[in-house]
Chains A and B, each alone.
Chain A
Amino acid sequence: MKNWVVKILALSMVLVLFVGCSGSEDSSQGANDNASNDTQAQTDADSSESTGDTSEGNTEGSVYFLNFKPEIEEVWQKIAKEYTESTGVDVKVVTAAAGTYEQTLRSEIAKNDAPTLFQINGPVGYESWKGYTQDLSDTDLYSWLLDKSLVVTGEDGGAYGIPYVVEGYGIIYNDAIMDQYFASASKSTSYNSMDEINNFQALQAVVEDMTAIKDELGIQGVFASTSFSTGEDWRWQTHLANLPIYYEFKDKGVGDAAEIDLTYGQEYKNIFDLYINNSITKPTLLSAKTVNDSMAEFALGQVAMVQNGNWGWGQINGVDGNVVAEEDVKFLPIYTGVEGEENQGLCTGTENFFSINSQAPEADQQASIEFIEWLFSSEEGKNYVTNEFGFIAPFNTFGDDETPTDPLAKEVLRYMADDSLTSVSWNFTAFPSQQFKDILGYSLLDYAQGTGDWNGVEAAFVDGWKDEKAATAQ
């Protein structure tokens, strides 16, 4: 009898011990693994989608598009569904998270079920993907292009990347605040409307005067934060840096160069100084600012100007408590003080080029070409492109009335239609590498914070260009 009780007791103790042990083991295990789990989860999320729905009936080919723009992912999914319903061709769209397109593409394309349709960002992107891009010069899509010089061409003259959108950037300004300034009694310049501001001298005078009376205008600074957080400095090291390169290449009559002189370095400094000295944010705090911060400052009416492109409308419009009226959002070209810049327009071009995976099965390639041709020529497709994507499409299949209606896109079109102005092309697609841009960005931040000087920027620009061009040419 006693023996029996002892046995039960012992057994229950052992059980308790086991439960206790396994419990604590679990929790410590979990904690230890935590660190690695996060990064794992990210990569998993990227790759898991692709393993899901693969097409079964492959007789007529299927389409797998790796999308670059997360903000329009839902529209792509809708298009894919509609296209599959009407034609029976499977279309799969996977979106890479912002800033991870290259690495997602790299891992996706190694799979059996690789993307058949992807995009490259210009000549530099073509360099790294040329083993995978198909010559598209025989396609209808190519023949529809309004400006064939925009195409990414290979050494053999083939068309390996077809632009599918035209974008423009400049200085976005809030017309309501500008009107308030022009009407103000305390202003000390003689300018009375934005039409008179057509060069750097005028821009500088107005901006500095606005800073002087910013309290009266109800703003905290003229320009939004010059964002310099990691990965958020592309507006300065890529878009703004395009201007001195554009003018230098124009003078030299070239489209690319192994070395540059930065003849317009002073002009580059002019505009950058203007941005940081009349900013809402102290220069020492810039390293923590993001593009979203800048766009929010503009949307909330805290600043009058921000440098960005027409894609920024979604960001302005999407901010809670947005006080900027649609009709007040306007573009001004980026004036830097170059001779004759009164005729300068916005910077227009693209870094979105479609490429077809040349290593995908023939049928899939054909299906992909048909899919994008449908998108840019059929009524349904064009409707998606202009109204849901808000793209200005560079194809002659689009009529004059088939253009997006958001204020910034309309401004881009207005500038492009103005024959007296010359658009600045996107020469930054020839910038040597991301490394070059990053190092230029670091030097700009150092200069802005006061931890470096302008010589550092010039060195990063000129030497960095030479070194990286040489490194990537190998």
Chain B
Amino acid sequence: MQKTIKRYFFVFVFPTLLAFIVVFIVPFLMGIYLSFTEFTTVTDSTWVGLDNYVKVFQDPTFVRAMGFTGAFTLVSVISINLLAFSIALLLTRGIRGTNIFRTVFFMPNLIGGIVLGYIWQLILNGVLYKFDRTLTFAPEYGFWGLVILMNWQMIGYMMVIYIAGIQNIPGELNEAAKIDGASRWQILKNVTIPMVMPSFTISLFLTLTNSFKLFDQNLALTGGAPAAKTEMLALNIYNTFYGRTGWEGVGQAKAVIFFIIVAVIALTQLNMSRKREVQH
């Protein structure tokens, strides 16, 4: 049996492998190659070495987008996880209507980013009009608008993950803690949080990468306005690639740098959180 499987290994793996190569490996390698060239269409390029990478760091908009993205990621990762965990705690207490609440909180996640961006643009502009301001008046408005939007969208999803984690804690642990006379705070700190560490790992990973790679919401909510000051990295790359003639290679170089940053951040975070997980 084992032998037969081994013999047909290639037959079983080949279709998937082929698809993986065609739609992932090839474009990926081509993308890296193109970042060292100047091109108008992807099949027609000339080698320019590291020129594009030099231009990337001379471009003030890229550095600014990096700062904006970093600040946004920091704020939204903290706020999303804090709120999602609190709601998860509330909704595992057995309050009446728990299921309805869970559904309602989860629903924003089912709406696409572009639609969500436009809806929130209308809502926030409607409020700001009262003060003779718009969302695109200054970058601060756009920043907090994006944070609110992202929270609204992601909290429900993270909440579901935390609820699953909390429900998986064996009841004996809580009971034992209670019998030992632990206060609610002590139970939360010493039992619940350590036990849901795996949920934290996955939630932090998802919020971190999603916030960092945010594109549609950014495009729909502010489109980078005013003066491209609310442009996040993904949108900046898109605008460089499509918006500036002769800068396609630079956009590609930015994308490669972006990929490296995302990979490094995500792997570091994953490693750090993994170490804190309780084995049981």
> A residues bordering B, Cβ < 8 Å?
27-28, 30-32, 34-39, 100, 102-103, 106-107, 109-110, 124, 127-129, 131, 229-231, 282, 284-285, 287-288, 433-435, 438-439, 442-443, 445-446, 449, 451, 472, 474
Within 228-267 of B, Cβ neighbours of A (below 8 Å) are at 228, 242-246, 248
Q: Please determine whether B245 and A128 come into contact, CB atoms closer than 8 angstroms.
A: yes
Q: Please determine whether A285 and B132 come into contact, CB atoms closer than 8 angstroms.
A: yes
A434 and B223 in contact, given A39-B215, A451-B138 (Cβ under 8 angstroms): no
Which of B41, B44, B216, B227 is A39 in contact with, Cβ under 8 Å?
A: B216
Interface residue? B270 (CB, 8 A): no
Taking CB atoms, residues of chain B closer than 8 Å to A32 are 157
Taking CB atoms, residues of chain A closer than 8 Å to B114 are 38-39
Q: Which of B62-70, B93-101, B104-112 forms part of the interface with chain A?
A: B104-112
Q: Give the top 9 A-B pairs by smallest Cβ distance, nearest first.
A: A442-B227, A230-B223, A110-B41, A287-B136, A288-B134, A128-B245, A31-B109, A103-B242, A38-B114
Closest to A445 in B: B226
Taking CB atoms, residues of chain A closer than 8 Å to B137 are 284, 287, 449, 451
In the complex the two chains form, what is the Cα distance from A364 to B44 in whole Å? 21
A433 and B244 in contact, given A34-B109, A109-B41, A229-B225 (Cβ under 8 angstroms): yes
Interface residue? B273 (CB, 8 A): no
Interface residue? B79 (CB, 8 A): no
Taking CB atoms, residues of chain B closer than 8 Å to A31 are 106, 109-110, 157
Within 91-132 of B, Cβ neighbours of A (below 8 Å) are at 106, 109-115, 125, 129, 132
Interface residue? B56 (CB, 8 A): no
Q: Please determine whether A287 and B242 come into contact, CB atoms closer than 8 angstroms.
A: no
Interface size on B, residues (CB 8 A): 42
Which of A110, A285, A446 is B129 in contact with, Cβ under 8 Å?
A: A285
Q: Residues 133-176 of chain B: 1 if any A CB is under 8 Å from the residue's CB, otherwise 0? A: 11111100000000000000000010010000000000000000
Which of A34, A38, A285, A442 is B110 in contact with, Cβ under 8 Å?
A: A34
Q: Please determine whether B113 and A445 come into contact, CB atoms closer than 8 angstroms.
A: no
Taking CB atoms, residues of chain A closer than 8 Å to B135 are 287-288
Taking CB atoms, residues of chain A closer than 8 Å to B109 are 31, 34
Which of B113, B129, B246, B248 is A38 in contact with, Cβ under 8 Å?
A: B113
In the complex the two chains form, what is the Cα distance from A273 to B106 in whole Å? 49
Q: Please determine whether B245 and A124 come into contact, CB atoms closer than 8 angstroms.
A: yes
Most A CB within 10 A of own CB, among B106, B224, B246: B246
Closest to B206 in A: A32
In the complex the two chains form, what is the Cα distance from A37 to B137 in whole Å? 30
A288 and B125 in contact, given A34-B113, A35-B216, A128-B40 (Cβ under 8 angstroms): yes
Closest to B135 in A: A288
In the complex the two chains form, what is the Cα distance from A299 to B44 in whole Å? 47
Taking CB atoms, residues of chain A closer than 8 Å to B133 are 284-285
Closest to B113 in A: A35
Q: Residues 48-71 of chain B: 1 if any A CB is under 8 Å from the residue's CB, otherwise 0? A: 000000000000000000000000
Q: Residues 208-232 of chain B: 1 if any A CB is under 8 Å from the residue's CB, otherwise 0? A: 0010000111010011111110000
Taking CB atoms, residues of chain A closer than 8 Å to B219 are 39
Closest to A124 in B: B245
Q: Measured between C-beta atoms, what is the minimum distance from A107 to chain B in Å?
A: 8
In the complex the two chains form, what is the Cα distance from A38 to B129 in whole Å? 29
Q: Please determine whether A284 and B132 come into contact, CB atoms closer than 8 angstroms.
A: yes
Which of B106, B110, B217, B224 is A230 in contact with, Cβ under 8 Å?
A: B224
Q: Please determine whether A287 and B226 come into contact, CB atoms closer than 8 angstroms.
A: yes
Interface residue? B42 (CB, 8 A): yes
Closest to A471 in B: B246
In the complex the two chains form, what is the Cα distance from A38 to B157 in whole Å? 19
Taking CB atoms, residues of chain B closer than 8 Å to A110 are 41-44
In the complex the two chains form, what is the Cα distance from A30 to B110 in whole Å? 7
Which of B43, B222, B227 is A445 in contact with, Cβ under 8 Å?
A: B227
Closest to B234 in A: A39
In the complex the two chains form, what is the Cα distance from A107 to B133 in whole Å? 39
Q: Measured between C-beta atoms, what is the minimum distance from A291 to chain B in Å?
A: 15
Taking CB atoms, residues of chain A closer than 8 Å to B225 are 229-230, 287
Q: Measured between C-beta atoms, what is the minimum distance from A167 to chain B in Å?
A: 23
Taking CB atoms, residues of chain A closer than 8 Å to B136 are 229-230, 287-288
Q: Please determine whether A128 and B216 come into contact, CB atoms closer than 8 angstroms.
A: no
In the complex the two chains form, what is the Cα distance from A127 to B246 in whole Å? 9
Most B CB within 10 A of own CB, among A38, A129, A445, A474: A38
Most B CB within 10 A of own CB, among A30, A32, A127, A288: A288
Q: Please determine whether B44 and A131 come into contact, CB atoms closer than 8 angstroms.
A: yes
Q: Measured between C-beta atoms, what is the minimum distance from A13 to chain B in Å?
A: 19
A131 and B112 in contact, given A285-B129, A285-B132, A442-B227 (Cβ under 8 angstroms): no
In the complex the two chains form, what is the Cα distance from A96 to B227 in whole Å? 26
In the complex the two chains form, what is the Cα distance from A288 to B246 in whole Å? 30
Other A-B contacts than A35-B210, A287-B134, A442-B228, 8 sampled, CB-CB below 8 A, are A28-B160, A32-B157, A230-B225, A288-B135, A434-B244, A446-B226, A449-B137, A474-B246
Most A CB within 10 A of own CB, among B137, B157, B216, B225: B225
Q: Please determine whether B157 and A434 come into contact, CB atoms closer than 8 angstroms.
A: no
In the complex the two chains form, what is the Cα distance from A35 to B110 in whole Å? 9
In the complex the two chains form, what is the Cα distance from A127 to B245 in whole Å? 9
In the complex the two chains form, what is the Cα distance from A297 to B109 in whole Å? 36
In the complex the two chains form, what is the Cα distance from A103 to B242 in whole Å? 6
Taking CB atoms, residues of chain B closer than 8 Å to A435 are 243-244
A28 and B157 in contact, given A110-B41, A128-B245, A433-B244 (Cβ under 8 angstroms): yes
Q: Please determine whether B40 and A106 come into contact, CB atoms closer than 8 angstroms.
A: yes
In the complex the two chains form, what is the Cα distance from A410 to B67 in whole Å? 52
A37 and B112 in contact, given A287-B225, A438-B228, A451-B138 (Cβ under 8 angstroms): yes
A434 and B243 in contact, given A38-B113, A284-B134 (Cβ under 8 angstroms): yes
Q: Measured between C-beta atoms, what is the minimum distance from B164 to chain A in Å?
A: 10
Taking CB atoms, residues of chain A closer than 8 Å to B113 are 34-35, 38
Closest to A31 in B: B109
In the complex the two chains form, what is the Cα distance from A34 to B109 in whole Å? 8
Q: Measured between C-beta atoms, what is the minimum distance from B213 to chain A in Å?
A: 9
Most B CB within 10 A of own CB, among A106, A443, A446: A106
Q: Please determine whether B246 and A472 come into contact, CB atoms closer than 8 angstroms.
A: yes
Closest to A287 in B: B136
Which of B216, B227, B245 is A433 in contact with, Cβ under 8 Å?
A: B245
Taking CB atoms, residues of chain A closer than 8 Å to B245 are 102, 124, 127-128, 433-434, 472
Taking CB atoms, residues of chain B closer than 8 Å to A131 are 40, 44
Taking CB atoms, residues of chain B closer than 8 Å to A35 are 112-113, 210, 215-217
In the complex the two chains form, what is the Cα distance from A30 to B136 in whole Å? 31
Q: Measured between C-beta atoms, what is the minimum distance from A43 to chain B in Å?
A: 11
Closest to A286 in B: B134
Taking CB atoms, residues of chain A closer than 8 Å to B160 are 28
